[in-house]
Every structure is written in structure tokens, then in C-alpha cells.
Amino acid sequence: MPTTPIVQFGTSRFLQAHADLFISEALREGRALGRITVVQSSGDASRASRLQALADPEGYSVQIKGVDQGELVDTVRTVQSVARGLSLPFDLAEIAAIIKGKARIIISNTADAGFRPQDADKTAEFSAQMSYPAKLTWFLFQRFRAGGEPIQVMPAELIPQNGTVLRGLVLSIAQIYPEEFRAWLQSEVLWVNSLVDRIVSEPLEPAGAVAEPYALWAIENQPGLIVPCEHPDVRVVDDLEQVETLKLYILNLGHTYMVSRWLAAGSLSRQFVREAIEDDVELADLKDLYAREVVPAFAAQGRAEEAEAYVKTTIDRFQNPFLDHKLSDIAQNHAEKVDRRIGSFLKWAKASDPDMQMPRLEAVVGSTISG
């Protein structure tokens, strides 16, 4: 098998239409670090066909559908960046060998609950029941014991400062490992913050996805950074917070707010985001929410103009007639999403203006906690 300098934890349709696609397109022009080993962390046997299809030499398809700068887009792209697919715990030894050896970058995109601590995290023996940070700690320890070559870790989870957060979780878990290993984690592992943005509305079988034209992989610059690929949708930025707050507190917040209303109303006959936006009452309420409770928080930091522009782009993306972006998909792990997307926004906004009024957003957080 070919050397794969990139190891990816997660088989999500998002990664298939995002990082995997970017790397595939860059590889064709000689502008990528190399191919990918994809690791299925859950060990779900029902996904074995997906894992096999991801590594098919013929590639898998990503359908890009939507409107880009006023032009209709409806095209299919083939992704051939995945060299192999492995599964935990069945392929544990092979995955460990890859991470101990030639791997240079570890990427992840686990479920929103993937970072949640588990009882199994308290042991230094590998367990399929571990959280992702604990599994990563175990694999990094194997690399450390094998000689400790430097490596870069760049999570793609939708968590502010995701690299910094993951570093903290790993260092906490590593308290049960040797002190020398903890020192190595801080000196020889580059923890990279990044932000990913693309609506990937539905899977294709056995692998592939349908996605919108808009895409972004913003990577925070730091000394020693290795960029996985050069691509128009990959941006290295000095200040990730500027990009992160727009995406998390406008697009993601809007999704979770709409789902909160959808769940409260019991409107289960409405399936997709575009159907919610087609309702004049729902669209007016969302626009009013942005105008009264979201944009003012950005305005308090002198960012009103960019926030208003991003709101317009967000509404256009929500109205994409081609994407069957299921409200039920967004509703998965709803409580965690409310906390990360709305609860954290309220704290962020009130840090600039403690008197700012955001009654609808506060009500969503309150009802979620009480529920």
C-alpha cells in the first residue's frame, strides 16, 4: 500500500465533500501533501461498504449543486484521495503502525459528542469505548514510544479553537501516561486550529455526498504549519476568530435556531431547511433575529458590515433549491449544538455589551436546559 502522510478519523459525508475533495483536486496538480488513510472510529459493521467505497481506486462522487455568484452550478466531481479505509478496533495494529511511521498530519471530524469524556478514558489500554481525544492520546503514545517524530494534529470539529481544545483534552487524559510523553505532546505535536464550512446535505451510496458550491477550510497560521494542500477553498489566516465567529454565530446559530422552532412546533411534515425558509413567517422571523439579536453583537465590535454581508450569504445558502438539508440531521445532538452555537454566542455578545437584549436566543437556551 502507498504511504499516506494524512490520517483521517471519521468517515462523515462532510469530510468526503470537504477535505477529501480538496486534497483530491490538489493531488492532480501536485499541490497536496499526499493521500489519506481513513479510520472509522465507531467500528460500525453497517458502514463497512462505505469504508470500502471511499478507497475505491475509481473514486467516489460528490455532486455540487447550487448558485455561485449568480450562476447555476450542477456538476459532479470525483474524489480519489483516499488510499485505504480501516476500522477500529479491528485494524488497531495497522492504524497504530501508520501513525507510528510515516503519518505527518492527523485530521478528525467526529460527531458533536465525540469529545465527550467516557469512563474508558481513564485507562491507558485502548478501548473502542474511549472518546476520540482518548483514542488520539493512545495513538500518539505509540508514536512517542517508537521514536517520537513530530506530527501535526488539526481537528475539523465545529468547536471554537478546536486545536487548542483538543490539546487540552489530550494533555488532561495523558496524566495517566509517563511525564516524558506529556512533555513530548507539548513540544513535538503541532496543534492547529481550523474552521470548516460547507453544507453537505445528503449522502450518496455507498460513498459520496451532495454539497453546495460554497466551501471554506480556514487554517490558523503558526510557525511550522504544514498545509495539507493548496486549493482555492483552503485559506491560511492569521486570525481565525474573525472567520470562526461569522460561521459559528451566524450560519450554525441560524440552523440551530430554526431547528429549535421546528422541534417546538412539532412541524415534522417540514423536512428541509429550504422548506422552512420558504415559509414567509419563518423567513421573516429569522431575518429579524439576525437584525435584532445577532448583528448588534458584531456591531459592538465594529464588525456590522461584514456580519450583514455574511447574513445575506447565509440566507442565500439556506434558500438553495437543490439541497435537501434535513432539519432532522441538524437536530442530532441538539443540546450540545445549542450550547456551542447559541449559549457561547450569548456569552461572547455580553462580553462586549452586558446590557444587550437577546430574548429569543436566551429562550432557546433556557428551554433546552429545562427540557
DSSP codes of every residue in 49-104: HHHHHHT-TT-EEEEEEEEETTEEEEEEEEE--EEEEEETTTTHHHHHHHHHTT--
Domain ranges of the chain: 6-238, 241-370
Using a pLDDT cut of 90, give the percent of the chain over it: 78
For the domain with range 241-370, which CATH number is right: 3.40.50.2300, 2.60.40.1180, 1.10.1040.10, 3.55.10.10? 1.10.1040.10
Q: Which three cell numbers stand for residue 280?
A: 414567509
pLDDT at 43: 66
pLDDT at 338: 95
Q: Which three cell numbers stand for residue 324?
A: 435537501
pLDDT band for 370, please (50, 70, 90 cuts). low
pLDDT at 199: 87
Tell me the mean pLDDT in the region 11-21: 96
Contacts of 73 (CB under 8 A, 6+ apart): 64, 65, 66, 67, 213
State residue 220 phi and psi, 5-degree precision: -75, 125
Distance, in Å, from the CA atom of 241 to the CA atom of 194, rounded to the nearest integer, reads 10
Residue-wise pLDDT tens digits, 214-264: 999 999 999 999 999 999 999 999 989 889 899 999 999 999 999 999 998
Contact 317, 277 (CB under 8 A): no
Architecture of domain 6-238: 3-Layer(aba) Sandwich (3.40)
Handedness of CA 238, 240, 245, 248 (dihedral sign): positive
Handedness of CA 329, 334, 340, 346 (dihedral sign): positive
- pLDDT value at 3 more than 60: yes
pLDDT at 327: 92
pLDDT at 347: 96
Residue-wise pLDDT tens digits, 149-165: 999 999 999 888 899 99
**Mean of per-residue pLDDT scores for the chain:** 92
pTM: predicted TM-score of the whole model, two decimal places: 0.82
